[in-house]
Amino acid sequence: MKKVLIISTSLRHNANSEILAHETERGAKDAGHEVEFITLKDKDIKF
């Protein structure tokens, strides 16, 4: 088992990159890996 970290940087809900990130998450979980999914959509990130 591996630990997998997925960081979604898409700002739009249901954007193609977000869908792809969730599919990657599902595939990793189905393969028996421990997955942590983080989205930056709701975060207030300052430069």
Cβ count within 10 A of residue 22: 15
Domain that holds residue 8: 3-37
Asked whether residue 43 is domain-assigned, the answer is: no
Asked whether residue 46 is domain-assigned, the answer is: no
Asked whether residue 19 is domain-assigned, the answer is: yes
Asked whether residue 7 is domain-assigned, the answer is: yes
What is the count of structural domains for the chain?
Answer: 1
Asked whether residue 22 is domain-assigned, the answer is: yes
Asked whether residue 42 is domain-assigned, the answer is: no
pLDDT for the residue numbered 24: 97
Backbone CA torsion sign across 11, 16, 22, 28: negative
Asked whether residue 45 is domain-assigned, the answer is: no
Asked whether residue 47 is domain-assigned, the answer is: no
pLDDT for the residue numbered 25: 97
pTM, 2 dp: 0.81
Residues 1-47: pLDDT tens digits?
999 999 999 888 889 999 999 999 999 999 999 999 999 988 888 88
